[in-house]
A and B are shown apart, each in its own frame.
Chain A
Amino acid sequence: MKDLSLFATLSTLGAMLAIAVGVILPAYAMGRAISQALDALARQPEAEKSILRALFIGLAMIESLAIYVLVIVMIVLFRNPLLEYLLK
């Protein structure tokens, strides 16, 4: 029982830490990408279409990093495969 409560505490803590770090870094990357894109847009407004297309593809790729973290956190919280060994 003690093992199980320790396991629950640790996995919750780990999940919160993971989602925190996993959101901060993509947010920083997105901020950099947007600021660079705005810079490029201010320099060359006529290239708006291609800049915005590249920006959106890049943003979505960065965003998917945060989504990977979310998927891993979900697995840790709800379907942790290591729990089987503990319950046996």
Chain B
Amino acid sequence: MNSAVILWRIGPFGLSSTVLTTWLLMAVLTLASFIATRRLRVDPDRWQSLLEGVVLAMQDAIEAFLPGRSAGFVPFIGTLWLYLVAANLVGLVPELHSPTAQLSVTTGLALVVFLASHWYGIRNDGLGPYLRHYLRPNPLLLPFNLISELTRTLALAIRLFGNMMSLELAALLMLLVAGLLVPVPLLLLHVVEALVQAWLFGMLALVYIAGGIESQPHSHGAHAP
């Protein structure tokens, strides 16, 4: 429940530790992949094999969910996965806090997913057919469809925030009650939970995007190779 610590203040804008951690993560991820892909070879070295394994695993996971149409989604979902894994795990480093333990960060990510699901849906089906899927299976269900659009976005934000915040808080409470080294099992749980929640956020984003696309009965036959 703690709000972000403001480090510097430039006019009306405060630079919080959350933003700084996010920039740090972005820099590390970008720099690492830049260095690892600088000299690509057919016979890959250690770092190139690592990156190729990560990318292939993400491609396979998306391909299993949307067979034959995964190519357009790998950049978006893969970026979410990579960023969230890094952001959830960075809380284990001393002096750093997970950016995803702040509600504003997870709300921003959920809004990106919200907009992306509409963007993919409209690009795939066209505006009219996409909007018509809100009237399916029955126009009476239009309010429920609209409400579910909003609540699932809210749920996406609250889920990630609640999990990350509660894990940090639980470790802190254990530290207060029991003392040094006792929260270590909880921190191990934190690792598992951080990975699961990152995977789940990307997977749910994929489910929402696929829901916008597969609402079209005509598009089912079109994608067969």
A23 to chain B, nearest CB (A): 12
Question: In the complex, which residues of chain B have a beta carbon less than 8 angstroms from the beta carbon of A49?
Answer: 64
Tell me if A's interface is mostly helix, strand, loop or mixed.
Answer: helix
Of the listed stretches B6-14, B89-97, B130-138, B199-207, name the one at the interface; the rest are far from the partner chain: B199-207
Question: In the complex, which residues of chain A have a beta carbon less than 8 angstroms from the beta carbon of B166?
Answer: 67, 70
Question: In the complex, which residues of chain B have a beta carbon less than 8 angstroms from the beta carbon of A79?
Answer: 1
Question: In the complex, which residues of chain A have a beta carbon less than 8 angstroms from the beta carbon of B162?
Answer: 64, 67-68, 70-71
Answer whether residue B216 sits at the interface, using C-beta atoms and an 8 A cutoff.
no
**Nearest-CB residue, chain B, relative to A75:** B1
B64 and A60: CB pair below 8 A?
Answer: no
Tell me if B's interface is mostly helix, strand, loop or mixed.
Answer: helix
Interface bits A48-88 vs B (CB < 8 Å: 1, else 0)? 01000100110010001001101100110011000000000
A60 and B1: CB pair below 8 A?
Answer: no
Answer whether residue B57 sits at the interface, using C-beta atoms and an 8 A cutoff.
no
Answer whether residue B124 sits at the interface, using C-beta atoms and an 8 A cutoff.
no
Could you tell me the distance between the alpha carbons of A79 and B2 in the complex, rounded to whole angstroms?
A: 10
Number of interface residues of B (CB under 8 A): 19
A67 and B200: CB pair below 8 A?
Answer: no
A77 to chain B, nearest CB (A): 9
A64 and B203: CB pair below 8 A?
Answer: no
Our pick among A57, A68, A70, A78 for the contact of B203 (Cβ within 8 Å) is A57
Answer whether residue B186 sits at the interface, using C-beta atoms and an 8 A cutoff.
no
15 CB contacts below 8 A, A to B, read A53-B64, A53-B65, A56-B199, A57-B200, A57-B203, A57-B207, A60-B159, A64-B159, A64-B163, A68-B158, A70-B166, A71-B158, A71-B161, A74-B1, A78-B1
Residues of B within 8 A of A (CB): 1, 64-65, 155, 158-159, 161-163, 165-166, 169, 196-197, 199-200, 203-204, 207
Known: A67-B163, A70-B162. 17 other contacts (CB 8 A): A49-B64, A53-B64, A53-B65, A53-B203, A57-B200, A57-B207, A60-B196, A60-B197, A64-B155, A67-B162, A68-B158, A68-B162, A70-B166, A71-B158, A71-B161, A74-B169, A75-B1
